[in-house]
Structure 1
């Protein structure tokens, strides 16, 4: 799979050193990791042994809640096909759950107000046969707070999303996942049940260097929240997909939506730089934003993290219930590669052709007295941003009718258009009711509230 020579020897040694420290200090029976750059696996490393042989990128580990990202992909596929809307209440498609007012988006973002866990025995360490129906997953008090108010991580919420997929597809969640995600992305070593070679799950005694075997349960109805087994190789391929997309599975635009924060921030989240999206997490460390998901089940830890800006991803898998903290390890692997071998920017090239009516819009504009610049880039995108300091900005894609739609930030999905006078000259830019003029409070433009007819003056 991996050409180790794609990274410099010093970088490879730094990566190996990092996972060696993690495995030793975290007392993990085994640990395997992979790094992806520019959409391709460029390094794998492993420490100690799995069932008597050295682990590699093809050994399966249980990945826990990274399963949720796979389930979210299926839901977004249904949305893109028009089978549902993210704002739809669950009751519209899956009636009779008792929590039907919760929307699909709220389930994806853990903002539905549902309990974190199922009632009864610890579901991760007990057979799924104890919870044959959704009612057994939800219990008599499934909701803890009104939907939409706060982020509260809910495993049962993803069981509901798996049931939603089954209802709309008319097939088992695992079969839909195999057909619509595993096969097109060639994830041949990702499965609902372990396939040899795979790591056994262990608990490491907190005060002695001895281990206890953990049970490996089939989670039944809870499978969409944490059932999957995978490998460093397959997760490297999946990480590349989560950035670049694959039209056979999900478009880059829908994946960008999945990577966009969707849950309200708590004070602790703001301080830690944590946010939840649609089946993915965003975490900040050392000034770098990383998106992906962590996972754990008794006997296993997993982490997949991507720096979209650096186009570097890292996967770390270990077979222990607790021990090494895998997010710091994954983020360090990303940092090592990004800093030792920084991304080479794409060479600048000019536009082939330019529409004069678009070119005349470029340059300085004023929102009130704040100066902005509108630029036209080689990909045909308009970029609006403040000339100095901080302020609202966005890139805008053309709609083909003389208008543009915002791609991010405050102006995401807002419409930008040039308003012209009867003689064809540009009067102003209209952006979501904001008027941008060529001069501060231009008296020749329809500035809301009007412009003082005495004009600009000093104090004397």
Structure 2
């Protein structure tokens, strides 16, 4: 069985077992042609296929989060700014941008009113006017509490700072640059019908359409599985899809993927960064993305990072036209794992490189710090360090020279990131001691009182 046959069968099994009227899945990776599979009927009188659009619900939040970080990178806001510094709000202006992004601001889940009874969301004016009636249900920073209201405020913030609507800014600054032409605010002519599938019969009842108005930045978008797989790949590996950083710098995506909180304080099975769900997979693999749910629709969109055999720019999306088929949520994770297991990335052959610079050759090899052994080496044009007992998959610490300070390096990734590494040489120029994050490193194992004062700094 080929890998595409395996993936197809996984999709068809979920569609049948979970009774989903229409199910579309796609896989994007940098080293292979895109894969897609669609099963079922659109329910809209049009063929179900790669151009069929589904509502993606809260996956929309990942786009709003990227727009917010763009504003930060352009100097329009600071993540620790209270949102009221930029918006004229009658209440909750003290909530910071960072806490709104990470769902730790403590705001209630929805805008004021019974939105899910009426399916009438507030417009921009009403969203702000009714904010005084919304509760802060938890103290700020206490814990994760999901809030569509918080992301709606960030969407309004983005529009205000950019001088347009959220939808206009999204199209101009994300969708067009990344070629996501099938991702839209409105459903369009290829939209499938969303259903509630009866629990005790085979009846599928259409759900009413709903425009989310000013809450759109939290849940409004429609898209195809192929577009969403590409978006997931961008969230996991932005440099591959946006090498110039026109949408967002890779370092900013790194920041968004760093866990700000756990979503369950007892299980710790998933985390939340800045607008992104983080799902650990074991063996230093993490899936990053978001789930979505709207009446008649479910979506799960995730990119894969780390691990043996994972190619660059790898993302999967699964979109379905049932609002209750929770089995869908696990499928992108299984598709990503199966693709890596049965069709891993090609092994890149090693080739000799240039020698290490003269100024670092004398420090390469084994050193001891805090009673533990470390190995310093030069690979891929950079100084690196690993614990002698580190597992093979653990990334090394990587250092970069500090301009204007000879023999001083900054840790740019890995252990002690951000800290300095300082070299000490004797009269002959030989490196005899190092200090990393102020801890002493020596060629032989020493106690903490083993400093040799005969060798000056």
Scaled by the length of structure 2, the TM-score of the pair is: 0.88
**Residues 35-434 of structure 1 correspond to what in structure 2 (within 5 A)?**
35-38=27-30, 41-50=33-42, 51-123=44-116, 126-129=119-122, 132-135=125-128, 138-242=131-235, 243-245=237-239, 246=242, 247-264=245-262, 266-270=264-268, 273-285=269-281, 288-309=285-306, 310-311=310-311, 312-378=314-380, 380-388=381-389, 394-401=396-403, 402-408=407-413, 410-421=415-426, 424-434=429-439
* CA gap 1:249/1:186 in 2 versus in 1, 3 angstroms: same
Question: For structure 1, which segment, 350-359 or 309-318, has the greater mean C-alpha deviation from structure 2 after superposition?
Answer: 350-359
Q: CA deviation at 1:29?
A: 0.6
- Measured in 2, the distance between the counterparts of 1:82 and 1:241 equals 23
Q: Which runs of 5+ in 1 are unaligned?
A: 1-8, 454-460
Q: How many residues align?
A: 436
Per-residue CA deviation, residues 414-440 of structure 1 (Å, 9 max, x unaligned), is 333324456543243322222222222
**Secondary structure in structure 2 of the residue aligned to 1:133:** helix
- Measured in 2, the distance between the counterparts of 1:420 and 1:82 equals 42
**Residues 7-46 of structure 1 correspond to what in structure 2 (within 5 A)?**
10-38=2-30, 41-46=33-38
* CA gap 1:101/1:408 in 2 versus in 1, 3 angstroms: farther
Q: CA deviation at 1:64?
A: 0.7
Q: Which runs of 5+ in 2 are unaligned?
A: 453-457
- Measured in 1, the distance between the counterparts of 2:130 and 2:347 equals 49
* CA gap 1:130/1:167 in 2 versus in 1, 3 angstroms: closer
Per-residue CA deviation, residues 196-228 of structure 1 (Å, 9 max, x unaligned), is 111111111111111221122111111111111
- Measured in 2, the distance between the counterparts of 1:154 and 1:422 equals 62
Alignment counterpart, residue 435 of structure 1, candidates 431, 440, 446: 440
Scaled by the length of structure 1, the TM-score of the pair is: 0.87
Q: CA deviation at 1:302?
A: 0.6
* CA gap 1:265/1:302 in 2 versus in 1, 3 angstroms: closer
- Measured in 2, the distance between the counterparts of 1:182 and 1:350 equals 41
Q: Root-mean-square deviation (CA), in Å?
A: 2.5
- Measured in 2, the distance between the counterparts of 1:183 and 1:154 equals 28
- Measured in 2, the distance between the counterparts of 1:173 and 1:306 equals 25
Q: CA deviation at 1:390?
A: 7.2
- Are the equivalent residues in 1 in contact too, given 2:411–2:417 (CA < 8 A)? yes
* CA gap 1:452/1:198 in 2 versus in 1, 3 angstroms: closer
